[in-house]
Structure 1
Amino acid sequence: MSTNTLLTSSVITNELLRRFKNNLGFSGAVAHTWDDKFAVEGAKIGDTLRLRDPVLFTAQAGPVLTPQNVVENQKTLQLNNQQVVGFSFSSKDLTLSIDNFAARYLDGAAVALANAVDIAGLTVADQTVGNLVGTPGTPPANMGPFWSAGETLDTGSAPMDGTRSMVIPPKIQTSVLTAASGLFQSSAQIKQQYERGRMGIMGGFEWVMDQNCRTHTVGPLGGAPVVAGAGQTGSTLATSGWTAAAAVRLNAGDIFTLPGVFKVNRITGDIKTDLQQFVVTAQASSDATGAATLSIYPPIITTMPGQTVSASPAASAALTIVGTANTGFITGIGFHRDAFALGMAPLEVPKNIQFGANQQDPDTGCAIRMVSMYDIINDLFVTRCDVLFGWVCQRPEWCVKIAS
C-alpha cells in the first residue's frame, strides 16, 4: 500500500535557498567571510560588525628603526536590509514533488530575492567606487577598457589570486562577445561563447552577466567648480564656483579628478602617472554663494603610511567631472572578491509557527527563512520568504567601474 509523501518546511526552505543561491549574480562573486559572526546561537552580536582594514607600513633602509604610527581604518557591516516575498499555496500543493512545487512557487520567489540582494550591492558599488574606465554613453568597442580595468586593480595592489570578477550588463556583454571572438581562447571557451553566450575566464577575470548593473545619473552640476583653499586633506573637500544658488550639484557616485593630484601605490608610495579619481559619497548641494563641501573617497592623505595621493590640490584647481549633467550611463564592475563584504543571517522562526524553517548555506553563507500561517477558512498556507543582509565596500581601491 502506497503512502503520500508531504513536503515539509525544511525540504521547501532548502530548495528555496538552493535556487536563491543559483540566481545570484554580483552577490555570488563577493566575500561572505563574516556570515558566521552573525546570529551565532548563544553569542549573538547584534546586527553590526566593524571590519578593520589591514595596517599599511613602509619598509625602512638601514639598521636604525624609526617606529611608525599604526593607522587602523575600519568599515561597518550592518545587516540593515530585509527583503520579503509573499504568496499562498493550498494543502493539496504539499503533495506535489519538490520540483513541481519549486517551479510553481519557489523559482519566482528566489529570483525576486536574489535580484533585491544584487541591486543593493551594486548600488553600494555605484556610490563608493571611484575608479572608472571607458567613456560614459559609449559601449566598449574592444577589450581595451577591460585590460585597463585589470591594470587599475594591479595599481591598487589587488591580489592576483584567481578571485577577480567582471560583472557586466547585457549591453556590455554584447560588445564583449563580439570583441572577444577574435582572441586566442580554448575551443571549449569558444563553444560556451557561441552556444550559450558565456564568457568564462578571460583577462584574469571570471565574467558574470547581471541585468541589475546600475545606471548612474550624473548630478545637475552648474557653474565652474574649483577647490576652495590650498592644503586640504581628509574625507571632505571644500569647493566654490558652483552656480550661486542653493541646489543639488552632485549625486552620490559622481566621479571627478583634480589637476596635479595623482594616484600612488599605497604600499610603496610610488607616484603614478594617472590622476586620482575621487568619488562623491553623498549628495552635495551648493549654497547661495556657490560653495559646497563634498564628501569624498579616497580621503586626501599625502604622507605614508596610507598615502592616497601625490599632493593635496592647489587652491582654485578646477574639478573635472566625469559624464554629462543629468545624464545616465550604465556601468559594469571589475573587482577582487574581498573588495566587498556581504553579510547574511537567518531570521528567527517564530515559536508559534508550525510550518516554517530557516536555512543557511555553509559554503556561501547565504541564508533564508520561510514561514507559513494556515488559513483554515480557505485551506491556504499564507507564506512569506525573507532574507536579511547588509553590504559594505571594504576595499574600494580593489574595484573599477566600466562605463558604457
Structure 2
Amino acid sequence: MANTTLTASIVAKAAVAILENELNMAGSVHRGYEEEFDKKVNGYEVGDTITIRKPTDFTVRTNITASAQDVKEAKLTMTANKIAGVDFQFTSQQLTLNIGQLSERVIRPAMIQIANQIDRDVFALYKDIPQWVGTPGGAMDTFKKFSAGARNFDIRSVPNDGGRNIALSPSDFWDIAGAQTALFNPALVEKAFKSGKVGMVAGLDTFMAQNVPTHTVGPLGGTPLVNGASQNTAYDTTGVNTQTLVTDGWTAAAAQRVNVGDVFTIAGVFDVNPVTKVALPILKQFVVASGSTLNSDGSGNLTLTIAPQIVTSGAFQNCSAAPADNAAITFVGTANT
C-alpha cells in the first residue's frame, strides 16, 4: 500500500486541534467575535481590526412625566495584533508518517509553546483591569479568601450564567485544594486529596495556570492627593474609557512613582451598582492605565492616566461623586513588592 503524503492543510488542521486543547486561560475567555475577522464586506476582507458595540444603558424615571433619553451606543475596536509562531522544517520521510505520529513527535511540542505564549498575552491584560480583592502577597488558603472574587462579582452585578472562571497560580491552587481536604464533604475531599482537583468552587470554574503573572507595585513615595476638584468626565462613546487625574503630594523629587497596572482608591469616591446606580459601601477602584506618565516632577506633581473614567451621573454613572480637592489616594499593596 502506498504511503499517504501529508499536506500543509492536514498538518495545519491537526495543529489547530492540538492548540485548542492546550489553551488554558485563552480557552476560558469570550471568543464570540473571532469569526468577524473571516467575514467579507462588499467583497473586501475585514482586515485586522473590527468594531464592537458596547451595551447602551438608561436611567429610570419615578414620576408620570415622560422624559426622553438619548440612546448612546459606545463602541470599541478589537485589533488582531499579536503573533505567535514556531518554525521548523519537515523532511520528506517525516511527511510520509501518519498524522498521529507526526502530531505526537513534532506538532504537539510546538503547539504547547504557542499555547503558552497566547496564555501569557491574555494574562498580560490584567494591567487594564481596575479590580483587586484580598491581601497582596497573601496565600489563598481559605474559602473566605477564595470567595472574595466571587463576592466582588456579585456586588458589581456580574452575570452568574456559568461563564465565571478563575485561574490560580500553582501555589494558590494547591493551597485551596489543601483547604478542601478539611471539609466534611467526602466527594469533594476525595477529588482534592487524590488528584488535586478543585472543580467548581463558589460558582467559579477553577483551574491552575503556570503563567499567572505577579504584579509589582510602583515605588510610590510621599502622600499622593487629588490636585483639583471635579475631575470627572462625560461618558466616552469611542470606547477609550480612560482619563487623566491630576495629583500632587508625591515625594518632591523627579522619579518614578507608579507602574502600569497599579490599583488605587480615592477617598470619598464610592462604587455604584451598575444597574441601579445606588452607591455601594466600597470605594471605587481605579488602575494606572497604559500610556500613563509614571514619574512625578521635582515638586511632587504627577498627572496619571487612569481607567475607568469617573462618571458621576446619567445612564453610565460608575462613581458616587467626583473626587474632592486634596482627597487621599491609596494604592493597593506595598511599594516595590
TM score, norm. by length of structure 1: 0.76
Q: Which residue type is aligned with residue 110 of structure 1?
A: M
Change in Cα spacing, 1:269 to 1:44, as seen in structure 2 (3 Å) is: same
Q: How does 1:5-404 map to 2 (within 5 A)?
A: 5-41=4-40, 42-124=43-125, 126-183=126-183, 187=187, 189-234=188-233, 235-282=243-290, 283=292, 284-327=294-337
- What residue is the counterpart of 1:353 in the other structure? none
Deviation of the 1:185 alpha carbon: 5.2
Q: Conserved in 2, the CA contact under 8 Å of 1:142 and 1:176?
A: yes
Task: Find the residue that maps to 1:90 and give its secondary structure.
Answer: coil
Q: Specify every segment of 5 or more residues in structure 2 that has no aligned partner in the other structure, as ranges.
A: 234-242
Kept in 2, the 8 Å contact 1:278–1:297? The answer is: yes
Report the secondary structure of 2:101's partner residue: helix
Cα 1:191–1:102 change in 2 (3 A) is farther
CA distance in 2, matches of 1:250, 1:69: 38
- Cα pair distance change 1:191/1:10, threshold 3 Å: farther
1:216-268 CA distance string (max 9 Å, x none): 11112122111001111132211001122332211111011111111101211
User: Could you say what the CA RMSD is over the residues aligned between the two structures, in angstroms?
Assistant: 1.7
| Bigger mean CA deviation after superposition, 137-146 or 106-115 | 137-146
- Does structure 1 conserve the Cα–Cα contact (< 8 Å) formed by 2:180 and 2:189? no
Cα deviations by residue, 1:88-135 (Å, 9 ceiling, x for unpaired): 2311112222222112211121111111111111111x2111111111
- Gaps in structure 1 of 5+ consecutive residues: 328-404
Cα deviation for residue 196 of structure 1 reads: 3.0
Secondary structure class of the residue paired with 1:275: strand
Shift of the alpha carbon at 1:184?
5.9
Task: Mark the CA change 1:108 to 1:70 in structure 2 (over 3 Å): closer, same or farther.
Answer: same
Please tell me whether the aligned partners of residues 183 and 189 of structure 2 are also in contact (alpha carbons under 8 angstroms). no
> Helix, strand or coil for the counterpart of 1:259?
strand
Identity in percent? 38
Following the alignment from structure 2 to structure 1, what is the Cα–Cα distance between the partners of residues 206 and 7?
37
Distance between the aligned counterparts of 2:194 and 2:6, measured in 1? 37
Asked whether the 8 Å contact 1:29–1:165 carries over to 2, the reply is yes
Q: Bigger shift: 105-114 or 60-69?
A: 60-69
Contact 2:267 / 2:327 at 8 angstroms: preserved in 1? yes
Q: How far does residue 173 in structure 1 lie from its aligned partner after superposition?
A: 0.2
Partner SS state of residue 226, structure 1: strand
Equivalent position of 1:364 in the other structure: none
1:291-349, Cα deviation, whole Å (9 max, x unpaired): 1111112211111211111111111111111112221xxxxxxxxxxxxxxxxxxxxxx
How far apart in 2 are the matches of 1:325 and 1:93? Answer: 54
**Per-residue CA distance 1:35-82 (angstroms, 9 max, x = gap):** 111132534122112222211111222332112233333322101111
Aligned equivalents of 1:186, 1:50: Cα separation in 2 = 49
User: Structure 1 stretch 286-295 or stretch 271-280: which is displaced more?
Assistant: 286-295
Counterparts of 1:73 and 1:16, CA distance in 2: 37
Report the alpha carbon displacement of residue 25 of structure 1 after superposing the two structures with TM: 0.8
Moved more, 36-45 or 290-299: 36-45
SS at match of 2:47: coil
TM-score, structure 2 as length reference: 0.91
1:3 aligns with 2:2: yes
Distance apart, 1:276 and its partner CA: 1.0
Change (3 A) 1:185 1:75: farther
Q: CA deviation at 1:182?
A: 3.3
- Partners of 1:29 and 1:232 in 2: how far apart? 36
Distance 1:155 1:304, change over 3 A: farther
Bigger relative contact order, structure 1 or 2, given CA contacts below 8 A and separation 6+?
1
1:209/1:244 CA distance change after superposition, 3 Å: same
Contact 2:182 2:189 in 1 (8 A): no
Greater share of strand residues, 1 or 2? 1
Amino acid at match of 2:301: A
Does the CA-based 8 Å contact 2:141-2:172 persist in structure 1? no
**Equivalent pair of 2:178/2:192 in contact (CA under 8 Å):** no
- Counterpart-to-counterpart distance in 2, 1:164 and 1:36: 23
The answer as to whether partners of 1:58 and 1:304 remain within 8 angstroms in 2 is yes
* CA–CA distance in structure 1, aligned partners of residues 223 and 250 of structure 2: 6
Secondary structure at 2:62 match in 1: coil
CA contact (8 A) 1:227 1:316 kept: yes
Distance, in Å, in 2 between the alignment partners of 1:183 and 1:63 is: 55
Off by >6 Å, runs of 4+ in structure 1: none
